[in-house]
Amino acid sequence: MNERLSSALKRYQEVSTLIEDADLVKNQQKYRETMKEYAHLSTIWESQNNIESLASQMNSARLLLQTEKDAGMRELAREELASLESQHEAALEEQKLLLIPRDPLDDKNIIMEIRAGTGGEEAALFVADLYRMYARFAETKNWKFEIINTNETELGGYKEIVFSIAGSNVYENLRYESGAHRVQRVPETESSGRIHTSAVTVAVLPEAEETEVEIRQEDLRVDVMRAGGPGGQCVNTTDSAVRLTHLPTGLVVIQQDEKSQIKNKAKAMRVLRARLFELEESRKNAERSEARKSQVGSGDRSERIRTYNFPQNRLTDHRINLTLYKLDLIMQGELGELFDALKLSAREEFLSA
């Protein structure tokens, strides 16, 4: 950890000089990357300054304890020293978390897929609720939100919805959402007031650049068809829907929301690229030792990660044993506390490993 700290402080000095170079702005991508690195390193630099300041104050308090003859002043110095030691210990723990190497995927945009599982129409309605929850959270972060594909039901739910989110540290915040989400509530269509349990699955895919995933034309089968919708609505009269099949992996992506075949194919390619990227990342993760895997969750969409209990206004994340009694606010997009707890748990697991 000391080596990481020394390296980070040295790099901070280098980057501080780099950002003063007028030529840096000419390369916008490099400029953005450098400024992101500078922001992260600045936090470590400020943390170290705070730790050194607290250490200096602790030394002064100890000196006062040794030299002060007045009993009242010694008691004040003892109380101050205890407070400073507590702050110093907390600052050191916080710095450990800051020194954990950042996952290069954290800065990536994502494609999120939410699908109805067990529970029929009630599950489809909960898909729509989760979609709105994530959309509202994205708004609070000023992230760009775009629907890629939907499969609606007659009652306003979704059998499936696929959308992208772009912005700062999107994957870092949403990466732990992959898995099975269980909901317990009384459906609007239930006249007897019985609580139903339904489930939906969420997949969070880091969006890959074209240069990161090569898709050869000979590995791709493209089929076109007419789009369909619930109850015969929204049915195109032209063959604008696109189905892509990646022959080596068997992955299939269907896109039909756009009226243009070209636009549908472009969106389908984005989703396919993200799924292929996820496959490769999963393979790399499987090759790592178990000790280096976060226990927060593997991202397996079959893993039950969370329960939303509406009668009790309760949300429980089973991976970190966190229960929050403010489900109404969470469904309105207030996800910060939950996401911070998940990120903290992952970092602490990394340290213990």
Question: 243 near 253, Cβ under 8 Å?
Answer: yes
Instruction: Provide the pLDDT for residue 296.
Output: 53
Burial of 310 (0-12, 13-18, 19+ CB in 10 A): middle
CA distances for 302 relative to 139, 151, 207, 341, angstroms:
28, 21, 21, 22
Q: How many alpha carbons fall within 13 Å on the CB side of residue 249?
A: 17
Structure confidence at residue 287 as a pLDDT band (50, 70, 90): low
Question: 267 near 282, Cβ under 8 Å?
Answer: no
Contacts of 191 (CB under 8 A, 6+ apart): none
pLDDT beyond 80 at 290: no
The percentage of the chain sitting over the pLDDT mark of 90, rounded to a whole number, equals: 55
CA 217 – CA 245 distance, rounded (Å): 11
Q: What share of the chain is helix, strand, coil (3-state, %, to 5)?
A: 50, 20, 30
Q: What tokens were used for 291?
A: 């000790």
- Torsion angles phi and psi, residue 128, rounded to 5: -65, -40
| CA-CA-CA-CA dihedral for 288, 293, 299, 301, to nearest 10 | 90
Residue 348, SS3 per DSSP: helix
pLDDT in tens, 76-102: 999 999 999 999 999 998 888 888 887
- Per-residue H/E/C for 82-130: HHHHHHHHHHHHHHHHHCCCCCHHHHCCEEEEEEECCCHHHHHHHHHHH
Q: Count CB atoms within 10 A of the CB of residue 4.
A: 15
Instruction: Provide the pLDDT for residue 33.
Output: 83
pLDDT beyond 90 at 168: no
Greater confidence (284 vs 147) lies with 147
Greater confidence (181 vs 102) lies with 181
Cα angle at 150 between 128 and 267, to 5 degrees?
A: 135
Look at residues 159, 133, 198, 153 and name the one whose alpha carbon lies nearest to residue 336.
Answer: 133
pLDDT in tens, 294-305: 445 544 556 789
Q: Please state whether 313 falls in left (phi above 0), alpha (psi between -120 and 50) or beta.
A: left
Over residues 220-229, mean pLDDT: 80
pLDDT in tens, 32-46: 889 988 988 999 999
pLDDT beyond 60 at 155: yes
Q: What is the DSSP letter of 301?
A: T
